[in-house]
Chain A
Amino acid sequence: MHELSIATSIVDIASKQAIAANAASVSQVELDIGTMSGIEYGSLEFALTVAVRDTPLENTEFVINRIEPLCECLSCQELFTPEGNYGSCPLCGGNTLEFIRGKELKIKSLLVD
């Protein structure tokens, strides 16, 4: 359940940003969460409902963008969509990969009044 820690961090960061922007209320928080980030989406959604209690984000809607993975082969620089966590490069067969996308854990924006 590290999702609860993540949810608490999200609420913390968003609250501070809302205060910094002199916002009266926060109607929406948009998140980019990669499918390879190690986050279980259902757990995060549940954890957020707990983490917002008694905070300025109690009635805020959370929009979670699922970011699908994209890998770069470090041998031949081919870009491809990996299958799960493995896989080798479809072009050269190399298995030294770097995730270009899919590991995001980011607060993208707030919609405030």
Chain B
Amino acid sequence: MCDTCGCDQNENPVRITKPGESNQDHGHDDGHNHEHNHGHDDGHSHEHNHKHAGDSNKRLIRVEEDILGKNNLLASRNSGFFEAKGIVALNLMSSPGSGKTTLLEKTIQRLNGQRNVAVIEGDQQTMNDAERIDRTGVPVVQVNTGNGCHLDAEMIHQAVRKLEPEPDSILFIENVGNLVCPSLFKLGEQSRIVVISVTEGDDKPEKYPTMFQQADVCIINKMDLLPYVDFDVEKAKQYARTINPKLEFIELSAKSGAGMDQWINWLLALRA
């Protein structure tokens, strides 16, 4: 069984596509393999299943292995690659609709070639976000996770091979819109950025503490809408600081441009 979409195919439905390429068929034919899952191609046979050796032969094997160890190892490999190439990789996470893609579009415009930029877009389905980024003129690949709720280090490894980001560039990784699952999966990023918007509840940090615990920066977006909503900025910050006292905040409106200078200056100061 395929672990992500639950279909009966052994291969993974994750697709990594550049704008202009077809990503329509559910063919599992992107060359991305997950041979570790259920392939039994390692010479392991099942003949042992029917020996019934009896309880007396039971042995306890101490494993003490981190379940996320494999992902963490791949993330470290990605991180090493980024460091060697001088690439600053940033993992952007938020609920769906907080304005991550608009923020990226405006960020790319503002950076205006001061740094090379490349983007990995993560969504369950569609090329929509990659097409929006493609129109800004920077290299982008779309990772469609199928039914998966987060990006993982293996997906980033594959996406980076396809994307081939320039040395010394900033690589934005827009994670699947989800404030829960992405927080557990390191990608090899230098910093984690959580985006919330004032049209959401100001108790988001309290509701989704794991995400805010792991983040380095919290962007509060859509500040232009603050007069029309009940969002209490100080309250949101206070909740978030209780969970993660080191969290930095940047308040901005990607749409109006207010606060964008602080964000751009923060980006330009980053070095791999």
Q: Are A12 and B58 in contact (CB under 8 A)?
A: no
Q: Interface digits, B42-69 against A, CB 8 Å rule (1 contact, 0 not)?
A: 1010101101011101111111111111
Q: Which residue of B lies closest to A74 (CB)?
A: B245
A25-B49 CB under 8 A given contacts A5-B3, A9-B70, A12-B36 = yes
Q: Are A112 and B38 in contact (CB under 8 A)?
A: no
Q: Are A106 and B64 in contact (CB under 8 A)?
A: yes
Which residues on the A side are within 8 Å of B38 (C-beta)?
A: 54-55
- Give how many B residues have a beta carbon under 8 Å from the other chain's beta carbons: 49
Which residues on the A side are within 8 Å of B46 (C-beta)?
A: 56
Q: Are A2 and B58 in contact (CB under 8 A)?
A: no
Q: Are A85 and B209 in contact (CB under 8 A)?
A: yes
Please report the C-alpha to C-alpha distance between residue A110 and residue B62 in the assembled complex, in whole angstroms. 7
A23-B59 CB under 8 A given contacts A53-B1, A56-B49 = yes
Tell me how far the C-beta of A22 lies from the nearest C-beta in chain B, rounded to whole angstroms: 8
- Give how many A residues have a beta carbon under 8 Å from the other chain's beta carbons: 45
Which residues on the A side are within 8 Å of B61 (C-beta)?
A: 17-18, 21, 23, 109-112
B236 at the interface (CB under 8 A from A): no
A107-B149 CB under 8 A given contacts A38-B180, A54-B1, A112-B58 = no
A105-B68 CB under 8 A given contacts A38-B180, A86-B242 = yes
A8 at the interface (CB under 8 A from B): yes
- Contact partner of B37 (CB less than 8 A), chosen from A12, A50, A86, is A12
The residues of B with any CB-CB pair to A shorter than 8 Å are 1, 3-4, 6, 36-38, 42, 44, 46, 48-49, 51, 53-55, 57-71, 147-150, 152, 180-181, 183-185, 206, 209-210, 213, 241-243, 245
Query: A5-B3, A12-B36 given. 16 additional CB < 8 A pairs?
Result: A2-B150, A5-B4, A8-B37, A13-B63, A13-B65, A13-B70, A19-B44, A21-B61, A54-B1, A56-B44, A56-B46, A85-B210, A109-B64, A110-B63, A113-B57, A113-B58
